[in-house]
Amino acid sequence: MAGLIRLAVMAVMVAAAIQPSFADDLPTLFEGRWTGNGTIRPEGFDRPEKARCKVAGTPTAGGATRFSGRCATVSGAGAFRMDIRRVPGTERYAVEAQLPDQVQAVRMNGRANGKTMTFSLLKPLKMNGRTVSGQISMIFSGDDSMVMTQTVRDVATGERAEAVSMTFRKQ
């Protein structure tokens, strides 16, 4: 019985951690101008290269928050865009992203846990001859710092890599 009470208390604490008003406002943490430093594996599984990014978060007319910008490494540069929207009536988020190496928009679903947002690809995509699945995590520290990581997994071989590891600061 004590175990059930502990579980019930933990469930209430978890439910309180993401209050609807906070979950509604979470995408607004992306708003503003950001600069980032870290590493990117341009081909997903190759050697990581030092990278710098400049991005901006802006609200869109459709109720999403657009996080878009440009990142550069010694081997090249590319632009990206992510439109992040809360799915009405749920604690889930939908993301539509345009990535440098993808012709079509990439779609992801995700959840928030405190100030961490995690998005997973809805379907694997082709990356340099490989079929990969992936996940992006964004962890906010206060209102002016965020760590973004992207992990990828080769569906055929199971090989995993951290394709992106960036720390962003709001300007």
pLDDT digit string, tens, across residues 35-88: 999 999 988 899 999 999 999 999 988 788 998 999 999 999 999 999 999 898
Residue 55 CA to residue 71 CA, distance in Å, equals 8
State the residue for tokens 């209050």.
19
- Can you give the pTM of this predicted structure? 0.79
Angle at 128 between CA 117 and CA 36, to 5 degrees: 40
Residue 4 CA to residue 38 CA, distance in Å, equals 44
Give 11's pLDDT tier (boundaries 50, 70, 90): very low
* 27, pLDDT greater than 60: yes
Cα 152 to Cα 58, 101, 148, 160: the distances in Å are 27, 14, 13, 6
* 1, pLDDT greater than 50: no
pLDDT of residue 25: 64
Alpha helices in the chain (DSSP H): 2-17, 20-25
Question: Which domains are seen in the chain, by residue range?
Answer: 20-170 (2.40.128.20)
Q: Which residues pair with 27 in a beta bridge?
A: none
Q: How many residues does the chain have?
A: 171
* More confident position, 24 or 10: 24
| Eight-class DSSP state of 27 | G
Q: State whether residue 104 is helix, strand or coil.
A: coil
Alpha-carbon Rg for the chain in angstroms? 17
State the residue for tokens 């019985």.
1
Are 149 and 164 a contacting pair, CB within 8 Å? yes
State the residue for tokens 């405190």.
114
Please provide the average confidence, as pLDDT, over all residues in the chain.
83
Return the structure tokens found at 100: 């440098």
pLDDT of residue 36: 96
Residue 56 CA to residue 88 CA, distance in Å, equals 24
Are 87 and 107 a contacting pair, CB within 8 Å? no
* 16, pLDDT greater than 70: no
pLDDT of residue 6: 29
